[in-house]
Amino acid sequence: MTPSRRDFIKTAAATVLALILPGSFNPVRAKTKAPVAGNATFSKNNIAHTLTAKRWAMAVDLTKCTADCTDCIVACHTLHNVPNFGNPKDEIKWIWQEPFSAVFPGEQHAYSGERLRKLAPPVFCNHCENPPCVRVCPTGATFQRSDGIVMMDYHRCIGCRLCMAACPYGARSMNYRNPRPFIDRINPDFPTRAKGVVEKCNFCEERIAKGLLPACVEACRQKALTFGDVEDTRSEIRLLLEKRFSLRRRAHLGTGPQIYYLL
């Protein structure tokens, strides 16, 4: 009895290994697959009007942004089918407001003026130059495009939430439950997500592929948001950054955040 059972186990183990190994340790196969999702829109220059850039970035003018306005948030969350669970535990948010002292810890002190205290800057994914979330993702479900946008593949994400631990900005949300029943009005032009995956701001890549500015930029009545290519010396955002003093969130962490807050 014993030898035949042993042989069976050996054969079974060898078969399993033979099935698993080629897929997992063949870097060529893995490489040819990975970048497809990210580059699809940008490699095809035949799509008319696609906005392209070396590095997309956003400037938030805090002299224009007002604390009581939520236009950018509403526009983004409606467009991207962000659910509203009505509780902070399961909450999903792509763009939201925080007090200045929370956005820039240490920059506010006991003698800061009222202007600073009243600010509620919008916060969202910083589309870092050196994103920790991309570094830690075990499956490549979150990745960085050549134009700097940090993206999510909702179909590859296994929901391990290491990216949420890695993000020093708290920009990521987990679908702790099925979000679909909690979307007020589903926008058929943008995918809804399944339970168990992580999501965040995508810099409206689906809009810039069509030649449109991000929804938050378009929705802002104060014209406080400027979106553009920071690598382009003649771009509007570049001129703004040359003229005005700007802060980036936790820039000392070396992540290279691409959201610039103008003061």
Paired tokens of 153: 């593949």
Which residue shows structure tokens 């955040």? 257
Q: Binding segment for another protein among 76-84, 153-161, 183-191, 233-241 (CB under 8 A)?
A: 153-161
Q: Is 201 near another protein (CB under 8 A)? A: no
Q: Is 160 near another protein (CB under 8 A)? A: yes
Which residue shows structure tokens 């400037």? 59
User: Are 100 and 206 contacting, i.e. CB atoms less than 8 angstroms apart?
Assistant: no
Q: Binding segment for another protein among 27-35, 54-62, 112-120, 214-222 (CB under 8 A)?
A: 27-35
Q: Is 118 near another protein (CB under 8 A)? A: no
User: Are 67 and 120 contacting, i.e. CB atoms less than 8 angstroms apart?
Assistant: yes
Q: Is 120 helix (H, G, I), strand (E, B) or coil?
A: coil
Q: Binding segment for another protein among 45-53, 174-182, 184-192, 237-245 (CB under 8 A)?
A: 174-182
Q: What is the separation of C-alpha 124 from the centre of its chain, rounded to a whole number of angstroms?
A: 8
Instruction: Select from 129, 140, 183, 213 the one that contacts another protein (CB under 8 A).
Output: 140
DSSP state of 253: G
What are φ and ψ of residue 49, in 5° steps? 70, 5
Closest CB to another protein among 52 and 84? Answer: 84
Q: Is 180 near another protein (CB under 8 A)? A: no
User: Are 215 and 75 contacting, i.e. CB atoms less than 8 angstroms apart?
Assistant: yes
Which residues of the chain form contacts with another protein (CB under 8 A)? 20, 23-25, 30, 33-34, 88-92, 98, 101-103, 105, 123, 132, 135-141, 156-162, 164-170, 173-178, 194-198, 250, 253-255
